[in-house]
Amino acid sequence: MEEIGIVIVGGGIAGLATSLALHRKGIKSVVLERAEKVRSEGAGIGTLTNGWRALDQLGVGDRLRLTSRLIHKARTMLIENGKKQEFVSTLVDEARCIKRNDLVEALADALPEGTIRFGSQIVSIEEDKSTSFPVVHLTNGNTIEAKVLIGCDGANSIVSEYLQLNPKKAFACRAVRGFTNYPNGHGFPQEVLRIKQGNILIGRLPLTDNLVFWFLVHMQDNNHNGKDQESIANLCLKWAEDLSEDWKEMVKICDVESLTLTHLRYRAPSEIMLGKFRRGTVTVAGDAMHVMGPFLAQGGSAALEDAVVLARCLARKVGPDHGDLLKDCSMKNIEEAIDEYVEERRMRLLGLSVQTYLTGRSLQTSSKVLRLMFIALLLLLFGRDQIRHSRYDCGRL
């Protein structure tokens, strides 16, 4: 059985960011990634000021700014019975859309060679009876004992199951994300634009003068799985058939290979508030901890914040002086570091979770009474400044 100090399960945004944050603090970790290379699926990630603060702490912000343009405002338009209601927010700080590929590549490139072990899929976790540290079993038959195990393995997290967290809940809707390239320029303003019409929510975020990231959510269609890229593209065309011509054209000429179809899920706010996110020296980060709907564009940025805070808390207790295997570091110190991380993140994540849930429900419902109720709750809990969450600062690494 191999012994490793810190093992991170999952080589997505949260896993790579956490490993990089630890590396910046002089602490070695190993990332177990089930794929054979850095995963490049997914389209764009809206990243607000809080996300850029975390990226700057990780040391990759300047590289990513080269391939994304500033977004100046956010507009949401509700169209019902031919009548339009428009809500506008000015984004005074830094907001951009990043290609997911660019983000994961920037994180992976900044890690020491050999940090990521590809083709390493875990099947189970158990506690070593003699040491009380977690033991990870892989599909290739290998076994690893870790002093610290961090689950960054997404919404279907095996590590969150080990922590005995409740299953995620599902919104009654599915979402497609993709890119459309306009060779002669798209001509759209640098803004986030969302339109809700009937059961359809569609939005777009320009990345460059030619490339646009877009998403399309059907609030009631929960039955399509999308067997291949062409079927997803055809589904989008069906969903967009009642939209204006510019939106239909954007969907029609999209990069079919960029399309992803997902069933939107979330961790209930009550579990964010009360859930136990540590068991021994095991914890979670990113979607494994707090998967949320896309309605605030905070899922990716929250994962980056997790990485900075977790590395900072661990560094205070374990630090680089304990060696790669953390041999001289007590379980008590590790547990205290994880508890500090969970305590610092809990209220921040609770706020994001509640606001995302209420925003999603206000967009999803067809009842004017319920929509007014959800909007009233948003105003009561978060005030008139509904983008205050974007100015959060996770602090220095």
CA atoms within 13 A on the CB side of 51: 23
Residue 322 near residue 331 (C-beta atoms within 8 A):
no
Structure tokens at 331: 């379980």
Q: Name the DSSP letter for residue 303.
A: H
> What are residue 135's phi and psi, to 5 degrees?
-120, 125
Cβ–Cβ < 8 Å for 261, 225: yes
Chain position carrying tokens 């997803």: 232
Q: What is the pLDDT of residue 367?
A: 86
**How far apart, in Å, do the first and last CA atoms of the chain sit?**
33
| Token pair belonging to 61 | 């912000």
Which residues of the chain, if any, have pLDDT below 70?
40, 221-226, 320-325
The span from the CA of 325 to the CA of 6, in Å, is 8
- Per the CB < 8 A criterion, the answer to whether 323 and 141 are in contact is no
Q: What are phi and psi of 12, to 5 degrees?
A: -90, -155
Note the pLDDT tens digit of each residue in 14-46. Answer: 999 999 999 999 999 999 999 999 876 778 999
Pairing of strands 191-197, 169-181: unpaired
Which residue ranges form the domains of the chain, and what is each CATH number?
2-69+98-168+267-390 (3.50.50.60), 171-264 (3.30.9.30)
Residue 195: strand, helix, or coil: strand
Q: State the burial class of residue 61 (Cβ atoms within 10 Å of its Cβ: 0-12, 13-18, 19+).
A: middle
Q: How many residues are given for the chain?
A: 397
Q: Could you tell me which residues are beta bridge partners of residue 195?
A: 77, 202
70: which DSSP letter? Answer: B
The answer to whether 168 touches 291, Cβ cutoff 8 Å, is yes
Contact yes or no for 9/159 (Cβ under 8 A) = yes
> Could you tell me whether strands 191-197 and 200-206 are parallel, antiparallel, or unpaired per DSSP bridges?
antiparallel
- Say whether 377 sits in a helix, a strand or coil: helix
Residue 108 near residue 15 (C-beta atoms within 8 A): no
The Cα–Cα gap between 2 and 266 comes to 35
pLDDT at 228: 85
